Amino acid sequence: EGARHKNVFCSYLHGPLLPKNPRLTDHLIALALNRRGLPADLAPLDDRLETAAGEVMLRRLLR
């Protein structure tokens, strides 16, 4: 669950939001860089561990 209004992002996630959602983290970094007029085309990081952890949590929730 979550919401966004202008520059405010909300989540009902329990625990750390950004480590659990690398796509949101990348998006926020890109927004911050764009706001400063800097290029947001950074090299992608290896998110395999974060993605695998998210898949484990999804499987647990779907049981």
- Concatenating the DSSP letter of every residue in 8-63 gives EEEE--SS-HHHH-HHHHHHHHHHHHHHTT----PPPP--HHHHHHHHHHHHHHH-
Confidence at residue 12, expressed as pLDDT on a 0 to 100 scale: 81
pLDDT of residue 57: 86
What are 41's two structure tokens? 């085309």
Residue 19, judged by CB atoms within 10 A of its CB (0-12, 13-18, 19+), counts as exposed
> 1-60, pLDDT tens digit by residue?
788 898 888 888 777 888 888 888 899 999 999 999 999 998 988 999 988 988 998 899
Instruction: Give residue 18's pLDDT.
Output: 84
**Domain limits at 8?**
2-62
Its pTM stands at: 0.71
Measured between its terminal Cα atoms, the distance across the chain in Å is 19
pLDDT at 16: 80
Number of compact structural domains in the chain: 1
